[in-house]
Structure 1
Amino acid sequence: MPVDFSDILVVGVSSRSLFNLEKENEIFETEGITGYRKFQLEHEDEPLEPGTAFYLVQSLLHLNQNAKKRIVEVVVMSRNSPETGVRIMKSVHKYELDITRMAFSGGEPLSPYIDAFDINLFLSKDLKDVQTVIDSQKSPAAFIYEPPSEFKPTDSRVKMAFDADAVLFSDESEHRYKTEGIEAFHKYEQEHEDDPLTEGPFAKLLIKLSKIQEELPESVELSPLRLAIVTARNAPSHMRVIKTLRKWGVYVDEAYFLGGLSKDNVLKAFGAHIFFDDQEVHLTDSSKFVPSGKVPYASDSPLQKLNSKSKLTKPKDDK
């Protein structure tokens, strides 16, 4: 009988996102599969160090202990073969991660298996795989940055933070801001504050996370899952965000409308296990303090075309 995951959050995490495999990846790049296979076999009993998504995965799995039923499932997805993946399996066991499902594709892309495993969130350090998933609209997906050097969560609760436009909501408003300016953006948002924003690539994930909150303890102070929006929006464009979430039936614990202030200090204070944004200008700083993932624009997005055009016309720096 097939397993029903309709009420379960299923996270697909690449082995390089879950564990620190950068040294091993470098060996693969320089010595090929033969050198990589030899290294992995020789170090098979040495546990891998935690990667960027490790603490998020660990904390999400702990939610199952607080819920009335199992609400989170994690699938380790790797381009390793089953043989070279033994070290990954042993590391999962060593850290006592409650993970039973794994996919070892033997060098093949992982993106075709998103549907097969009913993935609701895909985290990977392979930008091509992430872009393919985003373009297919099958699942929210993010390219995972290097782990912050000093990040270690002090809070046992899961804390997830999201940018607003082009992440939770579509990129329409951000495109308007970039092409028409801040005044036109604020004017339009204020005039349309009662019109719900269009869903973005991470909307369904937020809605599912909000449903999962209903299975957890009701007390705000004790809730093991906290959701936050950290956005460059500010008044008067903030009301449309709040009213859209109401229309979606989504409860967000915290929201920060920064109006251009740096996001990294807020994220550090929040203690995010993961932060999702679409812009490198924010992620470059935030990834130094909290685990971060980039949500790429769809290949046919007007913003993607605008960015490509900007890169082509950008003048070269004087040397």
Structure 2
Amino acid sequence: MAVDLAGKLRVGISSRALFELGESHALFETRGVEEYSSYQIAHENEPLGEGVAFGLVKKLLALKNQHEESSVEVILLSRNSADTGLRIFNAIEHHGLNITRAVFSRGETPWKYAEALGVHLFLSADAGDVRLALGAGIAAATILPSTVGDNPSPQLRIAFDGDAVVFSDEAELIYKTRGLEAFIEHERSKANTPLASGPFRPFLEALHRIQRNTNPQDSPIRTALVTARNAPTHKRVIHTLRAWGVRIDEAVFLGGVEKGPVLKAFGADIFFDDQAAHCDSARQHVATGHVPVTSVQRA
């Protein structure tokens, strides 16, 4: 009998986002696949350290099967072969992670399996794979290097940028091409017109489906919108979320203030942004995923 994953929050993650594989990946890049394979097989019983997204995955798995409505499935999507992937599965077992499904694509991009499995979020250390997933309409982000530790709170806390991430980049394009004053006037005139969807709307909605069955004060998930917008451009954001029927627990309208310290104050387990400068600020304080949006994703 086929297993139905419908109704579950599905997250696909690469092995390099989940575990620390810097040494072996450097070997792959400098000495090739054969040396890499031999190394992984020779060390397959040695535990791997935690990667940047490990804390996020641990908290996602803590939600798994707490309630029927909030069940979560984390799926490993790896460029390893099944042979070298044995070390990854041994590490999963060592760390006690309830991950039972995996794809090992032996060098090919695994993003197409993210699409086939209907994942709501795909996290990878490979920016090329992330761009392909975004082009197919999947919420995806490149996990950036960071040395920050895990957030000790048991609550899963996820923060999002607005334009080009949760919302389309229609307004951001006006800012980039016509300047701040044109952006403000455009958003003032469109204050009651909902923004089009960005790539992360389906993921945010999947989180909301879990949240709506819990008391906001006791919810296992807390979300935040951390945006460079400020008044009066905040109105369109609020009206858009109302139109979608989506709950955001916290909203921070920074008007260009550095995001990193604010995200640390929120206690984000991960933050998603399309702007490299914001990501560089954020990753000094919290795990960060870069969303390399291109014209393919424009509404």
Scaled by the length of structure 2, the TM-score of the pair is: 0.96
Q: Which residue of 1 aligns with 2:199?
A: 201
- Evaluate the alpha carbon distance shift between residue 83 and residue 301 of structure 1 in structure 2; reply closer, same or farther with a 3 A threshold: closer
CA distance in 1, matches of 2:218, 2:129: 37
CA distance in 1, matches of 2:148, 2:294: 32
State the 1:256 CA deviation.
0.3
Q: CA RMSD, aligned part only?
A: 1.6
State the 1:192 CA deviation.
1.2
With 272-281 and 61-70 compared, the bigger mean Cα shift is at: 61-70
Q: Counterparts of 1:71-150 in structure 2 under 5 Å?
A: 71-137=71-137, 139-146=138-145, 148-150=146-148
1:166 maps onto 2:164 in alignment: yes
State the 1:302 CA deviation.
7.2
CA distance in 1, matches of 2:289, 2:177: 25
Asked whether the 8 Å contact 2:61–2:97 carries over to 1, the reply is yes
* SS at 1:288 equivalent: coil
User: What code does the residue aligned with 2:181 have?
Assistant: E
CA distance in 1, matches of 2:282, 2:40: 32
Asked whether the 8 Å contact 2:63–2:220 carries over to 1, the reply is yes
Q: Which residue of 2 aligns with 1:155?
A: 153
Q: How many residues align?
A: 299
CA distance in 2, matches of 1:191, 1:2: 51
Q: Which residue of 1 aligns with 2:294?
A: 298
Asked whether the 8 Å contact 1:274–1:290 carries over to 2, the reply is yes
CA distance in 2, matches of 1:184, 1:21: 46
Q: Which residue of 1 aligns with 2:221?
A: 225
User: What code does the residue aligned with 1:259 have?
Assistant: G
State the 1:71 CA deviation.
1.7
| Alignment match of 1:243 (pick from 235, 239, 246) | 239
* SS at 1:85 equivalent: helix
* SS at 2:210 equivalent: helix
State the 1:105 CA deviation.
0.7
1:278 maps onto 2:274 in alignment: yes
| Alignment match of 1:190 (pick from 166, 188, 191) | 188
State the 1:32 CA deviation.
1.2
Q: What do the CA deviations read for 1:113-157 (whole angstroms, capped 9, x no partner)?
A: 1222221111011111111111122x11111101x3232212111
With 16-25 and 150-159 compared, the bigger mean Cα shift is at: 150-159
User: What code does the residue aligned with 1:214 have?
Assistant: R
Q: Which residue of 1 aligns with 2:249?
A: 253
State the 1:47 CA deviation.
0.9
1:267 maps onto 2:263 in alignment: yes
Q: Which residue of 2 aligns with 1:313?
A: none
User: What code does the residue aligned with 1:141 have?
Assistant: A
CA distance in 1, matches of 2:106, 2:68: 37
Asked whether the 8 Å contact 1:175–1:302 carries over to 2, the reply is no
CA distance in 1, matches of 2:6, 2:73: 11
1:19 maps onto 2:15 in alignment: no
Scaled by the length of structure 1, the TM-score of the pair is: 0.90
User: What code does the residue aligned with 2:281 have?
Assistant: D
Asked whether the 8 Å contact 2:198–2:297 carries over to 1, the reply is no
With 189-198 and 224-233 compared, the bigger mean Cα shift is at: 189-198
Asked whether the 8 Å contact 2:77–2:113 carries over to 1, the reply is no
Asked whether the 8 Å contact 1:135–1:299 carries over to 2, the reply is no
Q: Which residue of 2 aligns with 1:316?
A: none
Q: What do the CA deviations read for 1:261-316 (whole angstroms, capped 9, x no partner)?
A: 0000110111111100000010111112111011112354679xxxxxxxxxxxxx
User: What code does the residue aligned with 2:98 have?
Assistant: D
Asked whether the 8 Å contact 2:109–2:129 carries over to 1, the reply is yes
CA distance in 1, matches of 2:50, 2:133: 25
CA distance in 2, matches of 1:164, 1:55: 23
CA distance in 2, matches of 1:178, 1:212: 36
CA distance in 2, matches of 1:203, 1:301: 12
State the 1:95 CA deviation.
1.1
State the 1:65 CA deviation.
5.1
- Evaluate the alpha carbon distance shift between residue 201 and residue 106 of structure 1 in structure 2; reply closer, same or farther with a 3 A threshold: same
Asked whether the 8 Å contact 2:168–2:198 carries over to 1, the reply is yes
Asked whether the 8 Å contact 2:7–2:69 carries over to 1, the reply is no
State the 1:225 CA deviation.
0.2
Asked whether the 8 Å contact 2:225–2:251 carries over to 1, the reply is yes
* SS at 2:82 equivalent: coil
User: What code does the residue aligned with 2:57 have?
Assistant: V
Structure 2 unaligned regions, length at least 5? none
Percentage of pairs with the same residue: 46
